[in-house]
Amino acid sequence: MKAFLILWFALTLLAQAGAPPFVLAQWSAEKGDWEQAISSYSAALQYEGPSASVYYNLGFCHQQTGDAGRAVLAYERCLALSPRAADAQNNLTMLRKELSLPDAKIRARDLPAWIAWISRDEWFLVFLTASVLLVALFWCAWLSSRRNARFLCFAASAFACTVMAGSAWVMKQRESEDLLAVVLAADQSLQLSPFPTSEKVTSCPAGSVVSLEQEHGDYVFAELTPGNTRGWLRKDSLEKIAPR
């Protein structure tokens, strides 16, 4: 019996050693070892690249450890990749209520809501698909000898051009999302000037979303979202939302 337990323990260690980081993270999360789960999910991101599911689980783990800033950051990155992830949106909404933070509608601001329903990567796929379709339609129009067929090809080409132009415009408008960041450090405040002794404008607690504008030394000038309150924050107190 003792030999069996030793063998089982050894095989478990070998399985964990050879398992992918995401699997190790799930094992750790199931045991409630949140710190190890966070480490493994972070390793999975480095190993596999940005992933909505990994960011969601990472946000949940940070939420369990009480790290509000990093939980908000992970959920926002999940939604940047998968805007229709209802679980991430619900968790983020509840977390903001617990922290008494405003519900920041940061994607596709001042644009129709349906634009934010599609991720920026998906908009790029729309543009790419329309481009391929346009080339194919022109090729068909060139080869076709029938007037009606050529007319239909050119009409469809006009539609493809409209889709290309629309998706390109959306991607251009949403470039401002690259400047959005989440405050990670607690007890932060927007300041009047980029100096440690500067007067405070307003509080900027962990989990707050800001839009970056310019840098000066160790500080960055930012606008608190939502609202139009501006001030200086330390660069090391925040991190951009754009998935990396």
Alpha-carbon 232 to chain mean position: 24
**Residue 144: what pLDDT?**
76
**Residue 105: what pLDDT?**
72
**Residue 18: what pLDDT?**
47
- The CA-to-CA distance between both ends of the chain, in Å, stands at 49
**Residue 150: what pLDDT?**
79
- The amino acid at residue 139 is W
**Residue 7: what pLDDT?**
34
Helix axes 34-48, 21-30, angle to 10 degrees: 160
pTM of the model: 0.84
- 212 contacts 179 by C-beta, under 8 angstroms: yes
DSSP notation for 165-232:
HHHHHHHHHGGGGGGEEEE-SSS-EEESSSSTTPPEEEE--TT-EEEEEEEETTEEEEEEESS--EEE
**Residue 109: what pLDDT?**
67
**Residue 227: what pLDDT?**
74
**pLDDT 10s digit of each residue in the chain, 244 long?**
444 334 334 334 434 444 577 788 888 888 889 999 999 999 999 988 899 999 999 999 999 999 999 999 999 999 999 999 999 999 999 999 998 888 777 776 667 888 888 898 999 999 999 999 988 888 887 777 777 877 888 888 899 999 999 999 999 989 889 999 999 998 899 999 999 899 999 999 999 999 999 999 999 999 998 777 999 999 999 999 988 6
